[in-house]
A and B are shown apart, each in its own frame.
Chain A
Amino acid sequence: MATGIRDKVAILGMGCSKFGERWDASPEDLMVESYVEAMDDAGIEPNQLDAAWFSHHIDDIGAGKGGTPMSIALRLPNIAVTRVENYCASGSEAFRGAVYAVAAGAADIAIAVGMEKLKDTGFGGLSPTNYGTLTPQIGPSGSAPGNFAQLATAYRAKHNVSAEDLKRAIAHVSVKSHANGAKNPKAHLQKVVTEEQVLNAPMIAEPLGLFDCCGVSDGAAAAIVTTPEIARSLGKDNLISVKALQLSVSNGLENQHNSWDGSYFHTVRIAAKKAYAEAGITKPREQVSMMEVHDCFSVTELVTMEDLFISEEGAAVKDVMDGFYDADGKIPCQIDGGLKCFGHPIGASGLRMLYEMYLQLQGKAGPRQLANPSIGLTHNLGGQPANNVCSIAIIGAHDA
């Protein structure tokens, strides 16, 4: 019986570049920015790194394939660099690799860097992705917003929510994230918006308007992990350790089997249950202090509140409108602005979420610092509702 990852690995240092339309920055610049901050935070030298994981989703417009782009950009001392890719959850995948290497004893200190350079395409939004040779012949000619927008239509039908009520609730999700992002100097979008602005924005994929969609950004984030013992030997105290790391991957059921109703994430529910069990959390609505979820679209965040078992099924609209997830609510969500405003450089996003939880747990989050958080949850999704990967990480004070 696996004993799980709980408290076996501590975070030694983290870094995150400024996210945004980084016209000035190359993929290498972005990686270096996050790496330097993480190394300074960890207080180690490059030759103390045993292994590295590099997450990067769209290689054809970013840094290219393989581990070499990271090794070259950071001039790593010829250590193992593994490139990982799992759609938009790639950043969590890099973190998982590094954490597992340390937990296995294969590495004393490991680093995960996630990077995406999206603004070299020449157009807004994500570039269309190839999915082999069969899917393009039988799948719809869609986009990410169109795929996620379907959550809204299915959710409305299932829970008998009017189009107006759901639109207003998802607008509140975005208004909240913009308010949070405005306090984050590294965020891509740092302006507050009103509910009226969100409701009246141009339509992207019904019912998702412009402000229901996250930023498409350049950026990088990095995490350095080690064992709690090594961390202490390096002079660290008040350690932040990994409580749970879970990944659940669709097996085609949602897309092909009539049992899924389209209104929720099958994988999120599975990953959440396993993560809570691994972390020893029995009442998430009471025990989780804060969350960074994969709010690629406002409606994703809304249904995720139910899939993480924080809101009751069908009750997310009410919780959102009650401010439960606002900065001053019971469980602040997207306190750094989320994908919505911090931005979404795909390969970096999972690590960026952890970066915010890590800062908050240490009391280093500046003007957006929450009062005494103890458990932070990150939810990093890849793919689309009918076919996805869901990565959930829980981190907290090591000694708690």
Chain B
Amino acid sequence: MSDVGISSIAGYLPRLRLSKKSVSQANAWLAPNLVGKGKGTRAMANWDEDSVTMSVEAIRRILGTNDDRSHVDSLFFASTTMPFSDRLNSGIIRAALTLEEQTECIDVASTLKSGTSALIQALDKVKSGNSKYSIVSAADKRKARAASPQELDFGDASVALSVDTDNLIAKYINSSSLSIDFIDHFRQPGEEFDYNWEERWIRDEGFLKIVPKAINDLFDKTDIDGSEIDHFIIPSVFPRVDQMIAKKCGIDPDKVVGNMALTVGNTGSAHSLLMLASVLERAKPGEKILVCSFGNGSDAILFETTDNIKNFKPHQTIENLIETGVEENNYLKYLTFNDLVKWEKGMRGEQDRKTALTTLYRHNDAIMGLVGGKCSKTGTIQYPASPISVSPNSPELNTQQPYKFAEKKAKILSWSADYLSFSINPPNHYGVVDFEGGGRIMIDFTDIEKGEIDSGMEVKMVFRVKIVDDIRGFTRYFWKAIPV
């Protein structure tokens, strides 16, 4: 039987990094106990990002710009903050990525170990031959109450990896999984925030007992011991818990992988795999990586890097993602983006944002996948496609072939920064962009600050939340342009 493992991995961090000092100082009068946590930053999603959009971005980073994505036959999406309780969230991701309809899409939810659980499922699926190439993506954008420790501990991010039998950078050895109804926190449907139990109990009875059990189960299965582990991954918001677990399991505490607490924060379902991405971008051949997670039980997965790791060049390293973040010192912006303050939206914010689901389905490729048309006779490229081509001198009928825009670069033709229209992050930037190779769209810009835009500037497309229909509880997605 051929080896199974990881052939590619990429993380995604939102552009902004919230200064924890700005949070702890603003809340010091109310929560003086949190002042000590006011160090470093945490990843902060833009208002138009959620776990689905962040996953799309991470997966794009492993799939590259090739239009042909037919090799992806299964997709696992793991999160505790899926935008929809009943709408296949991984199906939204599939549509955005223009994967084949036959791609099996599976949501893995309800626990912070969902990322590693999804990975185990994908590994099993490929190992059993039921999938040839599987993608696993995990993302979380967890809400926390203002002035809570979670607000400072959490971070928003996503990660994606491909499970394959070819071109492996890390070979799968084995895994173990424990499901234990240990409730360190919980959140029922409709609730915005977690309810948390005492930290000391979570640490002593949870992390320090359950994770070692999963690790030892794995060691028993694989006949290896802790001393052989080169990289040990266990995310925890509690200081030194990772070291304590390592010690308990005979792992050299120096092999504990940094958890990015002071730069990214704890990214929930994504975090074990995000840490794995940070290891794989610097690992050497023949190293054993133990990836663990904690959440109503524990998963432990063992990988060994291959020779291919020498040639592995991620789209963007985690190290570089951390370095290129933009610090945000405006805590109120974070609160507003996350709907944690009652802010004045103005009458323009009252407009009904009902989405015609019939229209959305009829134009699913155009809206979700940014697929336009190319005239088979004149070659004219346009968005969206139409029965009669837009080509001025040759309006051909029914000649449009699907043409994907999402991975094409574009340049700004015209733009404005609009203070009048409703925006969660004013001014509202939008304009006309012309694509390399043809075609144009008038489109919203995002991840852009005032004064950062001009005609002729190069942009790329990102999949984002377009609007949220508060009346019906529906998130509408579309593509936007960001500076390259």
Q: Which of B363, B418, B443 has the most CB of A within 10 A?
A: B418
Which residues does chain A contribute within 8 Å of B36, judged by CB atoms? none
Which residues does chain B contribute within 8 Å of A261, judged by CB atoms? 413
Q: Determine the interface band of chain A, counting residues with CB < 8 A from chain B.
A: 35 or more
Complex: A368 Cα to B188 Cα, angstroms: 71
Q: Is B1 on the interface with A (CB-CB < 8 A)? A: no
Of the candidate stretches B171-179, B213-221, B286-294, B426-434, the one touching chain A is B426-434
Q: Is B131 on the interface with A (CB-CB < 8 A)? A: no
Complex: A256 Cα to B355 Cα, angstroms: 23
Q: Is B337 on the interface with A (CB-CB < 8 A)? A: no
Q: Is B455 on the interface with A (CB-CB < 8 A)? A: yes
Q: Is A204 on the interface with B (CB-CB < 8 A)? A: yes
Within 8 A of A (CB), among B431-483: 431-432, 434, 438-444, 454-456, 466-467, 476, 478
Which residues does chain B contribute within 8 Å of A253, judged by CB atoms? 390, 392
A145 adjacent to B416 (CB under 8 Å): yes
Which residues does chain A contribute within 8 Å of B358, judged by CB atoms? 133
A140 adjacent to B442 (CB under 8 Å): yes
* CB-CB nearest in chain A for B431: A150
Given A128-B348, A141-B467, A147-B416, residue A206 in contact with residue B382 (CB < 8 A): no
Which residues does chain A contribute within 8 Å of B413, judged by CB atoms? 154, 157, 261-262
Given A153-B455, A154-B413, A252-B390, residue A141 in contact with residue B440 (CB < 8 A): no
Complex: A151 Cα to B118 Cα, angstroms: 50
Q: Determine the interface band of chain B, counting residues with CB < 8 A from chain A.
A: 35 or more
The residue that B428 contacts in the complex, of A128, A133, A142, A259, with Cβ under 8 A, is A142
* CB-CB nearest in chain B for A129: B351
Query: How near does chain A come to B262, taking the closest CB pair, in angstroms?
Result: 36
B421 adjacent to A142 (CB under 8 Å): yes
Which residues does chain A contribute within 8 Å of B431, judged by CB atoms? 140, 150, 153
A157 adjacent to B456 (CB under 8 Å): yes
B392 adjacent to A257 (CB under 8 Å): yes
Of the candidate stretches A3-11, A118-126, A307-315, A334-342, the one touching chain B is A118-126
Given A252-B390, A256-B390, A256-B440, residue A137 in contact with residue B355 (CB < 8 A): yes
B414 adjacent to A141 (CB under 8 Å): no
Complex: A149 Cα to B419 Cα, angstroms: 12
Q: Is A134 on the interface with B (CB-CB < 8 A)? A: yes
Q: Is A194 on the interface with B (CB-CB < 8 A)? A: no
Which residues does chain A contribute within 8 Å of B353, judged by CB atoms? 136
Complex: A121 Cα to B346 Cα, angstroms: 12
B367 adjacent to A138 (CB under 8 Å): yes
* CB-CB nearest in chain A for B386: A252
If A134-B359, A150-B416, A205-B416 are given as contacts, then 17 extra A-B residue pairs at C-beta distance below 8 Å, sorted by A number, are: A133-B358, A138-B441, A141-B421, A145-B416, A146-B418, A146-B420, A149-B418, A153-B416, A153-B454, A154-B455, A203-B427, A204-B418, A257-B380, A257-B382, A257-B392, A262-B432, A386-B442
Interface residues of B (CB under 8 A from A): 346-348, 351, 353, 355-356, 358-360, 363, 366-367, 380, 382-384, 386, 390-392, 413-423, 427-428, 430-432, 434, 438-444, 454-456, 466-467, 476, 478
